[in-house]
Structure 1
């Protein structure tokens, strides 16, 4: 399992990228521990990826876009814009970022951050059990192992992905219009929209815009000397200003942030 470790402002953040079977359903698992002083809150901005996530706040408090939440389990809707996530001092939280459509396999899609587990355990009993188990372990490895095993057991009991969704997702990797994408698929544009709304809770057009921004981010990180005007046209934006607006909406940052020294 690949891992990314970050430490700054008193926040220890470890991100794990599953491989094998779980990678089909889970993009990443993160563990965050904030040991800062009482007044030192730390905010991280999460890029929009069009996917659902589940956060387990085990100790302290977290906030999504300034709305504060106590310990518990929180289902997050598909992200359509950059979201600020704030950790108060002495907070321990872990989270699971799901693959597109994975939430719909075992839970109704939330329209907003929704409390589950401890307060609504009857609706999501699997997550309530997981929350209780996580509170009995303390090391990052133990937390990771607990999440990994629990989500493997959840997805082992679910039906498989919507085959139409799996078929169409790869077509969104190119900077084409939605009409052009639909024209090359065995399903019509209306059916395509229904599949996205049912499996992900967002429209195909929204997902297309998110994918384009994230691919542009990846390109800029690999090509820090790239000309931003040329990049804008390469990824299908009308001009650099259009690309900048999309970046700020979906990542919180401008394109120049990703090519700074």
Structure 2
């Protein structure tokens, strides 16, 4: 049913009427769960398109969090830091090694096996089972697989300057770049960003997952409903980066590093709601 455009997802599919209001107005709900008051029917043939900047401006912001949610998150943060004030110091040394490997010069000269080792390591951030990547690597052999992986990382980090990082990430996720290494997808691409830009990227490697991705954490800890990845006017690459930056801003200072911040968010996600 197409009645309106969801203000959160920029999507006009699967919208239902919750109830009729006075003056011809209606309360409507999108499949993402967002509910709002809709005043006038919108012609579905006139589907608006939004620019990169328009979509970024529409993405939830820290100031959208209700004060009560912020206060609860602050209490949980104080509780967490009181009991777990530090993080594994071995992570920094490992990631420093790969910062050098992922430099422009390092990528051109590194042993292909260090790239495979990275994909199968859980130091600092666990990327999950990489059976697809490993099968593709074994089928291609070290030289060809190493070259494909190198070019994938190179495009992500050093691709055309006129293509935003969000969209370079999406190109690799969607496979529109023919050189993209099979299986080197969201978790591994995000892990590369965590290593190269440790001051920015939280080590939460999936946007949405039952175990708890950025979308689930934003909902559980801060009460924010982030866009569904299948929403037609967004891309997963943009959602991955914008949700990271949102959570980074919300979690704030006081942690040893971004892995420490991520560990807090995973912990906070599972804390029971406070009784009143």
Shorter-normalised TM-score: what interval? under 0.3
Query: Which structure: greater strand fraction?
Result: 1
Q: Which has the larger radius of gyration?
A: 2
Query: Which structure: greater helix fraction?
Result: 2
Higher relative CO (Cα under 8 Å, sequence separation at least 6) belongs to 2
Instruction: Provide the TM-score with structure 1 as the length reference.
Output: 0.27
